[in-house]
């Protein structure tokens, strides 16, 4: 059940989940506006149901411009899919503050800017759906990815408040929580780990291990078998958009359900003990 005339604006369509979602929704008759910071990266998505716009979520002008184009054409953004994001990995102490800020600009402040830009149109229309891409990492935290997890935990909290605040205007807020999804995400996360500034730095071994473990998990670890491809997330998003009453949260893949349940039931000490089997703990040698 697509909703003719209701425009779907998706961020981060150059690859992975955003691309798969744009393809799936356009094929199912939704009126999709696929966006990316580099238009050339999404040229192959263009079709009668899929228009292309440049949108860098860290650039407020590009947010305003993209939303204005959709509103001129369709009256309002009907569905916003806040998908763009990445993991700025590395031990918390080792990530320079400018990279921390860019992480939050991309994963939280950009999506928030979009939410604020589309809501007036959704309220006028009396209908809207906001899909915020969180992660199982919005409910649990792995060492070496604290900044990414902080941004996704914040996305969860923001979505909970927003769900209450906008429901009366006919707007649903939906959180999507993927687990292990094979996209460019893992290699981007692994290569984001800061290189040691001095050899034998206190976190050098740890940061190297984080990069290796991240790649391993996605390439062939046991968890990989409980994960999925980007199409699995696109299917869940479609289901959430077509539901008469969408749920507040949609975990995607068994990896997400398993790990989020484990984190919920394990006391902090047990969780940390579990993590010590996966990561070397930094400390004086």
Ligand X SMILES: NC(=O)c1ccc[n+]([C@@H]2O[C@H](COP(=O)([O-])OP(=O)(O)OC[C@H]3O[C@@H](n4cnc5c(N)ncnc54)[C@H](OP(=O)(O)O)[C@@H]3O)[C@@H](O)[C@H]2O)c1
**Does residue 16 bind ligand X (CB under 6 A)?**
yes
Residue nearest ligand X by beta-carbon distance: 16
Binding span for ligand X by CB under 6 A among 22-30, 83-91, 200-208, 264-272 = 83-91
**Does residue 119 bind ligand X (CB under 6 A)?**
no
Among 183, 192, 207, 214, binds ligand X (CB under 6 A): 183
User: 259 with 179: CB under 8 angstroms?
Assistant: yes
**Does residue 113 bind ligand X (CB under 6 A)?**
no
DSSP lists the bridge partners of residue 176 as: 133, 250
Instruction: Tell the residue number behind the tokens 């990815």, with chain if given.
Output: 145
User: 233 with 21: CB under 8 angstroms?
Assistant: yes
**Does residue 181 bind ligand X (CB under 6 A)?**
yes
Count of CB atoms situated within 10 Å of the CB of 167: 11
- Catalytic, out of 33, 87, 135, 152: 152
Active site residue 134: yes
**Does residue 12 bind ligand X (CB under 6 A)?**
yes
**Does residue 18 bind ligand X (CB under 6 A)?**
yes
**Does residue 38 bind ligand X (CB under 6 A)?**
yes
- Residue 195 has which token pair? 């290189």
Cβ-proximal residues to 44 (8 Å cutoff; 6+ apart), any chain: none
Query: Which residue, among 77, 78, 66, 67, has the nearest Cα to 1 in the 3D structure?
Result: 78
Count of residues engaged in binding ligand X, rule: CB under 6 A: 29
Active site residue 208: no
In whole angstroms, what is the distance from residue 187 CA to residue 204 CA?
A: 18
In whole angstroms, what is the distance from residue 135 CA to residue 180 CA?
A: 9
Q: Taking CB under 6 A as the rule, which mask of x and - marks residues 86-105 in contact with ligand X? A: x-------------------
User: 121 with 172: CB under 8 angstroms?
Assistant: no
Active site residue 264: no
- Residue 116 has which token pair? 């604020």
Evaluate the CA torsion angle 262, 266, 270, 272 in order and state its sign. positive
In whole angstroms, what is the distance from residue 137 CA to residue 248 CA?
A: 16
Q: For residues 212 and 270, which CB has a smaller minimum distance to ligand X in the complex?
A: 212
In whole angstroms, what is the distance from residue 178 CA to residue 82 CA?
A: 14
**Does residue 74 bind ligand X (CB under 6 A)?**
no
Active site residue 148: yes
Among 85, 128, 143, 228, binds ligand X (CB under 6 A): 85
Cβ-proximal residues to 186 (8 Å cutoff; 6+ apart), any chain: 214, 215, 217, 218, 219
Among 3, 27, 28, 37, binds ligand X (CB under 6 A): 37
**Does residue 15 bind ligand X (CB under 6 A)?**
yes
Q: C-beta of 179: minimal distance to ligand X in Å?
A: 6
Q: C-beta of 106: minimal distance to ligand X in Å?
A: 5
**Does residue 22 bind ligand X (CB under 6 A)?**
no
Which active-site residues does the annotation give? 14, 134, 148, 152
Write out the residues near ligand X by the rule CB under 6 A.
Answer: 11-12, 14-18, 36-38, 41, 56-58, 83-86, 106, 133, 135, 178, 180-181, 183-185, 188, 230
């Amino acid at each position: 059940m697509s909703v003719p005339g209701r425009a779907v604006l998706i961020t981060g369509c150059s690859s992975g989940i955003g691309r798969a979602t744009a393809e799936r929704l356009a094929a199912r008759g939704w009126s999709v506006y696929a966006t990316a910071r580099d238009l050339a990266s999404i040229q192959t998505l263009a079709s009668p149901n899929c228009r292309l716009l440049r949108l860098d979520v860290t650039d407020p002008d590009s947010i305003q411009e993209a939303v204005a184009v959709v509103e001129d054409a369709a009256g309002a953004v009907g569905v916003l899919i806040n998908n763009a994001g990445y993991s700025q990995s590395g031990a918390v102490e080792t990530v320079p503050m400018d990279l921390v800020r860019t992480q939050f600009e991309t994963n939280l402040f950009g999506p928030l800017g979009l939410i604020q830009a589309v809501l007036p149109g959704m309220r006028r229309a009396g209908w809207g759906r906001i899909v915020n891409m969180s992660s199982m990492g919005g409910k649990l935290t792995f060492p070496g990815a604290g900044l990414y997890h902080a941004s996704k935990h914040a996305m969860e909290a923001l979505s909970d408040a927003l769900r209450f605040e906008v429901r009366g205007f006919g707007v649903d807020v939906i959180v999507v929580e993927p687990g292990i999804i094979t996209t460019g995400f893992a290699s981007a996360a692994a290569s984001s780990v800061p290189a040691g500034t001095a050899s034998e730095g206190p976190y050098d071994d740890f940061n190297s291990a984080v990069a290796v473990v991240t790649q391993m998990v996605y390439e062939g670890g046991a968890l990989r078998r409980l994960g999925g491809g980007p199409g699995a997330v696109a299917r869940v998003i479609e289901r959430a958009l077509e539901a008469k009453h969408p749920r507040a949260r949609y975990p995607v893949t068994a990896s997400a359900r398993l790990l989020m349940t484990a984190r919920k039931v394990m006391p902090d000490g047990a969780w940390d003990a579990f993590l010590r089997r996966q990561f070397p703990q930094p400390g004086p040698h």
